[in-house]
Structure 1
Amino acid sequence: MIAGAATDVGRLRTVNEDGYLAVSPAFIVVDGMGGHAAGQAAAQAALEELYALAGATIASIDPILEAVAAAQEAIVAIPSHAAFLPGATIAGVVMTLMDPRDSDAAAPGDEAQPTWVVFNIGDARVYLLRDNIMSQVTRDHSQVQVLIDTGQLTPEQARRDPRRNVVTRALGGGIADSAVPDLYSVPVQAGDRMLVCSDGLSDELDDDALATILAAGFPPQRTAELLVAASLEEGGHDNSTAVVVDALAVDGATPVPA
């Protein structure tokens, strides 16, 4: 695997409350909430726990769930006297070696297969570019997503709706019983490109803009930088973070070393 990452405070904010982890096999973006120091502290506390995934060989979802739970506990433990409690949204992708015995479709002699395990809480996102076709893997936990699901808003209307930043799940943030990630399992294919990003990026760039940059053929680091730069050109209303990961090959037994 090859990965690259970029982040920027944006044009309107004074503090960057985003943070990221880009150490194989874990590629994660954390978007702090709570304002200024609180959001920054929340992102940092979460990342300190998520670093348990860095450099590890992951063969099940359990280490991922444990790291997310530890991140939740770390954020809740942050002292705060502010009106808004520290919190964070999170999205990530982890290259795993899934045990075929965990699959109903497993055949005798099957070996562990490289698999993307994608997860999110809140409105940070993961996208997959495969064969030059981009798809959004995660589904937002947000008020406008509920309105989209019920037919009250179109996705394009939701992009400009004043409620677009109201999340229904988060780590911490005083949102009860909401620190449960959605998980998605995607078999790895050679040539896959994954994008993990904060809402400050996806709010500024629509799917066409994201897909154009992701498919332009630049290396992951340059691609991440171009994505963040494009979000600034579109207004840079929030902190913006992009982590781009390429799977160069799949050997059927072990993930390609970073």
Structure 2
Amino acid sequence: MTYVAVTALSHVGLVREHNEDSLVVGPWTVCGTTTRSPQTLLFPLGRPLVVAVADGLGGHPGGEVASELVVRQLALLGPSLDGAQAVEDALNLCNRAVHSATDGRPELTAMGTTVAGTLLLEDSLLSFNVGDSKVFRSAPDGLRQVSVDDSPPPLPGHRTTSAVTQTLGGSRAHHVLTPHVAAFPLSTGDRYLVCSDGLTDPVPDEAINDVLQVHDDGKAAFELWKAAIAAGGPDNITLALVRVGA
């Protein structure tokens, strides 16, 4: 039998007071909490499986509310998703749901979240994202980002930027959503990393690749978290490693 192994963790980091990240793996969600260690779940390949990270917008109230709402929606919708159009429709539904959740709740005005993830089907994988959370493909020849950042170029002398140009929810002036969705053939041995920018801002891609090249999933997840913490843990850290095995 071909299976999908998903190893995931979520941690508040060293600076933030609470965790505004949320995670969905199939029917399971982790919202606004810290996992004590990487957890691995196994699923048979064939049924639609969503693995995604949502990163609530910092500096706005309700980031954890928005990210939780999105992953819970994706957990419900996941089994019915069958292709790129279905993923786009699901993300637009999530966008409307986040906006609707602010009605009559002025304390949540402009709340929003990024999202990035994968949909695994029987013979293909779809990568999707809105915002600057990321999806990478890890292969023997290196690491390749397959998501598309919704962010402006970093300022001179800076490697990253915290600004985002598109989110789920957020300002109603930017309610028209253009999700990024890409399809890839799927085969045994494929490995993908889904993560919030709490990992990729402090840890360069080269260091992430070095970890993934030498460690299996559980150890790799721990070492990636450890690298983000060693770099100061400036933001919430959430990641999921997705592997197709036999």
> Shorter-normalised TM-score: what interval?
0.7 to 0.9
2:88 to 57, 60, 65: 65
For residue 119 of structure 1, report the CA deviation from its aligned partner: 0.8
Match for residue 124 of structure 1? 133
Structure 2 residue 106 is matched with structure 1 residue 81: yes
Give the structure-1-normalised TM-score.
Answer: 0.78
The 5 A counterparts of 1:1-258 are 1-23=4-26, 25-33=49-57, 35=59, 38-54=62-78, 56=79, 58-79=81-102, 80-82=105-107, 85-97=110-122, 114-144=123-153, 157-160=157-160, 164-174=161-171, 176-218=174-216, 220-249=217-246
Match for residue 101 of structure 1? none
CA-to-partner distance for each residue in 1:188-229, whole Å, 9 max, x for gaps? 1321110000011100110111101112232x3332232122
For residue 130 of structure 1, report the CA deviation from its aligned partner: 1.6
Amino acid at match of 1:127: F
SS in 2 for 1:144: coil
SS in 2 for 1:128: strand
Q: How many residues align?
A: 219
Does the 8 A contact of 2:60 with 2:111 survive in 1? no
Give the structure-2-normalised TM-score.
Answer: 0.81
For residue 57 of structure 1, report the CA deviation from its aligned partner: 6.3
Does the 8 A contact of 1:169 with 1:178 survive in 2? no
Instruction: Label 1:177 to 1:37 Cα distance change in 2 as closer, same or farther (>3 A).
Output: closer
Does the 8 A contact of 1:13 with 1:237 survive in 2? yes
Separation in structure 2 between the aligned mates of residue 59 and residue 138 of structure 1, nearest angstrom: 19
Match for residue 31 of structure 2? none
Unaligned runs of 5+ in 1: 98-113, 148-152, 250-258
Instruction: Label 1:40 to 1:69 Cα distance change in 2 as closer, same or farther (>3 A).
Output: same
Does the 8 A contact of 1:168 with 1:178 survive in 2? no
More strand by share: 2
Separation in structure 2 between the aligned mates of residue 36 and residue 5 of structure 1, nearest angstrom: 26
SS in 2 for 1:88: strand
For residue 59 of structure 1, report the CA deviation from its aligned partner: 3.1
Separation in structure 1 between the aligned mates of residue 120 and residue 108 of structure 2, nearest angstrom: 38
Separation in structure 1 between the aligned mates of residue 90 and residue 59 of structure 2, nearest angstrom: 24
Separation in structure 1 between the aligned mates of residue 186 and residue 164 of structure 2, nearest angstrom: 30
Match for residue 36 of structure 2? none
Amino acid at match of 2:121: T
Does the 8 A contact of 2:88 with 2:181 survive in 1? no
**Percent of aligned pairs sharing the same letter:** 30
Amino acid at match of 2:116: A
Separation in structure 1 between the aligned mates of residue 150 and residue 223 of structure 2, nearest angstrom: 27
SS in 2 for 1:143: coil
Which of 4-13 and 28-37 deviates more? 28-37
For residue 66 of structure 1, report the CA deviation from its aligned partner: 2.6
